[in-house]
A and B are shown apart, each in its own frame.
Chain A
Amino acid sequence: MSEIKASATSKGRVGVRNFGLSYDTLEGPVEAVCGASIHVNPGEFVSIVGPSGCGKSTLLNAVAGFLKPTMGDVTVDDEMVDGPGADRGMVFQQYSLFPWKTVKGNVEFGLKMKHVDKSSRDRAARTLLGLAGLTAFENKYPDSLSGGMKQRVGIVRALATGPKVLLLDEPFGALDAQTRVIMQQILTNMWQRLKISVLFVTHDIDEAIFLSDRVYCMTARPGTIKAEITIPLERPRQQSMMMSSEFLGLRRGLMSLIREESIKAMGGELNDLALDGLSIDLHGQSLADVL
């Protein structure tokens, strides 16, 4: 547990300044992200939303250290990010648990890499698994777990090393709606207990508003930051808040921002004519009758 408590006192300030990433193709360089600047304050929960392919995952992968920026810089606590490391825990959409390790083995992995002795490792893993309600499954292999359980293991595994920042790349995208709601509550709970900075990438606007202190909205490719929205909803947040006028107002605002970009992103795929087609008057007949 000492490992985990240590993170509560350390900072975890993420700074991305004028970030750009392009890659070379035969037709010349293609820009995925261009001039995006974001920051996460210590202990803050920040989400990035945007249309698919806007480069929000690229941005997250740069903070994780998997991608080198071709422009600008990425810092964590004023230190330049140079490759992946245990100070930034990552949760992946496809869980990415080690299938050859038990649930407990997966959670202990990071501590093992830190050469933490076996008994401390064991204690830390059990505590975290207890928090996530996984104690009964500690000796199971990931393949025998449901999606929600796998992702709980994924989150707990990323937290076990006591990272300064938790990075989540659409972590609940593959889960059904009911499970997602529960997972959001578990994540919020863990975040509040550990006072850790979180950078959360999602395309689900409700999820972003419900979880975050601040939401960044990205533009279509090449991605930049289009808007930054502070979420004034008080905590602890309840599921019922999602029906409040305040929530719905935020949702409407973000919706229209994203919708514009989604249409841009789809480009020729979905032009104005096609959208007009959606409102063709069928004069009271059902579509099936016309066909």
Chain B
Amino acid sequence: MRREQQVSAEPELAVEPSPTREVEPLTNPPQLLSYARRWLLLNRGGLRAAFVGAISLLLFLLAWHLLTRYRVVFFVRFTNVPSPAAVYESLTRAMHDSKFFMHVMLSCRRILFGFSLAAVIAVPLGLVMGRFKLAHEILFPVTEVLRPIPAIAWVPMAIMLWPTNEQSIIFITFLGSFFPILVNTLHGMSLVDPVLVRASQCLGAREASIFREVYFPASLPHIFTGLTVGMGVAWVSLIAAEMISGQYGIGYFTWEAYSLVQYPDIALGMICIGVLGLASSALIRGLGRVVMPWNRT
């Protein structure tokens, strides 16, 4: 009985909404809302994130300032930690110092060589290993054995292998980024939709064309993931190598600052590494967006 009542009640409810409300005209919203206001509305999520992010960074700076200002000792000791002001001062000094720029430029050059070399070798290798079973069967065990060895563990070996310090540092950087790029390229190749390969074959594509027109572009998103990760690891490896065996470079600068008791320079070096790492990752991401206009993720 209850159910019947509900059913009979529904048609009445359906009549309820007044037709006048539905016909209410949308009087040219583009004119009512200015372009700027609509832009703000559409991007409010991003703006909010930027705003909160800025506040978060400011709070971090404030905490850093307070902790160093009052030389807090609570499990960790802030007694010798430089304050933000001291670091800023050392930054302005470094800006007029050509030696500082030389350190930065040398690190960037090592990254450029090491990382580019890794990309140029690992990407084609991954594509070939992903496409040809025999290549995979031969090379995969070797890479799997070498992969877990951290690039830093290669430092002594690198020094023996390469005649100059510079070469061994580039080699370490290369090793750091090589494996993430290779592994991700392989992963991308393994995920290529076989139906797309069939589709290309039905359209007359032969082996070389399938490789160039299907396998390669289909793996590109993963290749770029590999490049982004590889870039991060390249910096990690580079800084470690520079601290151990370098004479120049931002890693060496940071370590030297500790030896020379120039504490603000330690923080300056660290921040500089952070900024450079961030910038190079952004560069890869930007490149990815240019190369893969279809990939809007």
B217/A86 in contact, CB under 8 A: no
Query: Considering the chains assembled together, what is the distance between the CA atoms of A27 and B173 in angstroms?
Result: 52
B66 within 8 A of A: no
Contact with A along B266-297 (1 / 0, CB 8 A): 00000000000000000000000000111110
B61 within 8 A of A: no
B293/A98 in contact, CB under 8 A: no
Contact segment of A89-97, A193-201, A219-227, A263-271:
A89-97
Shortest B208–chain A CB gap in Å is 11
A141/B294 in contact, CB under 8 A: yes
Q: A94-B195, A96-B193, A96-B195 are in contact. Are A143 and B202 (CB under 8 A)?
A: no
A100/B294 in contact, CB under 8 A: yes
- The residue of chain A having its C-beta at the shortest distance from the C-beta of B291 within the complex is A100
**By the criterion of a CB under 8 Å from any partner CB, how many residues of chain B are at the interface?**
23
A84 within 8 A of B: yes
Contact of B220 among A84, A88, A100, A141 (CB under 8 A): A100
Chain A residues whose C-beta falls within 8 Å of the C-beta of B214 in the assembled complex: 98
B198/A109 in contact, CB under 8 A: no
Shortest A191–chain B CB gap in Å is 18
Query: Considering the chains assembled together, what is the distance between the CA atoms of A99 and B213 in angstroms?
Result: 11
Chain B residues whose C-beta falls within 8 Å of the C-beta of A97 in the assembled complex: 199
Q: A92-B195, A96-B196, A98-B214 are in contact. Are A109 and B294 (CB under 8 A)?
A: no
B198/A100 in contact, CB under 8 A: no
Chain A residues whose C-beta falls within 8 Å of the C-beta of B128 in the assembled complex: none
Shortest B222–chain A CB gap in Å is 13
Shortest B137–chain A CB gap in Å is 22
Query: Considering the chains assembled together, what is the distance between the CA atoms of A110 and B213 in angstroms?
Result: 11
A161 within 8 A of B: yes
Q: A92-B195, A96-B193, A98-B214 are in contact. Are A86 and B202 (CB under 8 A)?
A: yes
- The residue of chain A having its C-beta at the shortest distance from the C-beta of B209 within the complex is A113
Chain A residues whose C-beta falls within 8 Å of the C-beta of B198 in the assembled complex: 64, 66, 84, 90, 92, 96
B199/A90 in contact, CB under 8 A: yes
A161/B203 in contact, CB under 8 A: yes
- The residue of chain A having its C-beta at the shortest distance from the C-beta of B196 within the complex is A96
B296/A113 in contact, CB under 8 A: no
Query: Considering the chains assembled together, what is the distance between the CA atoms of A161 and B208 in angstroms?
Result: 19
A110/B203 in contact, CB under 8 A: yes
Shortest B150–chain A CB gap in Å is 35
B91 within 8 A of A: no
A152 within 8 A of B: no
**By the criterion of a CB under 8 Å from any partner CB, how many residues of chain A are at the interface?**
28
Query: Considering the chains assembled together, what is the distance between the CA atoms of A89 and B271 in angstroms?
Result: 58
Which residues from 40 to 70 on chain A have a C-beta closer than 8 Å to any C-beta of chain B? 64-66
Chain B residues whose C-beta falls within 8 Å of the C-beta of A66 in the assembled complex: 198, 201
Chain B residues whose C-beta falls within 8 Å of the C-beta of A113 in the assembled complex: 200, 203-206, 209
A157 within 8 A of B: yes
Contact of B218 among A65, A100, A141 (CB under 8 A): A100
A85/B204 in contact, CB under 8 A: yes
Chain B residues whose C-beta falls within 8 Å of the C-beta of A161 in the assembled complex: 203-204
A109/B220 in contact, CB under 8 A: no
A158 within 8 A of B: yes
A110/B204 in contact, CB under 8 A: yes
A114 within 8 A of B: yes
A143/B294 in contact, CB under 8 A: yes
- The residue of chain A having its C-beta at the shortest distance from the C-beta of B214 within the complex is A98
Shortest B207–chain A CB gap in Å is 12
Contact of B199 among A65, A92, A141 (CB under 8 A): A92
Shortest A220–chain B CB gap in Å is 25
B220/A157 in contact, CB under 8 A: no
Query: Considering the chains assembled together, what is the distance between the CA atoms of A88 and B203 in angstroms?
Result: 8
Chain B residues whose C-beta falls within 8 Å of the C-beta of A86 in the assembled complex: 202-204
Query: Considering the chains assembled together, what is the distance between the CA atoms of A65 and B220 in angstroms?
Result: 28
Chain A residues whose C-beta falls within 8 Å of the C-beta of B195 in the assembled complex: 92, 94, 96
- The residue of chain A having its C-beta at the shortest distance from the C-beta of B210 within the complex is A113
Query: Considering the chains assembled together, what is the distance between the CA atoms of A143 and B294 in angstroms?
Result: 8
Shortest A117–chain B CB gap in Å is 16
Chain B residues whose C-beta falls within 8 Å of the C-beta of A99 in the assembled complex: 294-295
Shortest A258–chain B CB gap in Å is 26
13 residue pairs from A and B, CB less than 8 Å apart: A65-B201, A84-B202, A86-B203, A90-B202, A92-B198, A96-B193, A96-B196, A96-B198, A98-B196, A98-B217, A100-B292, A110-B204, A114-B204
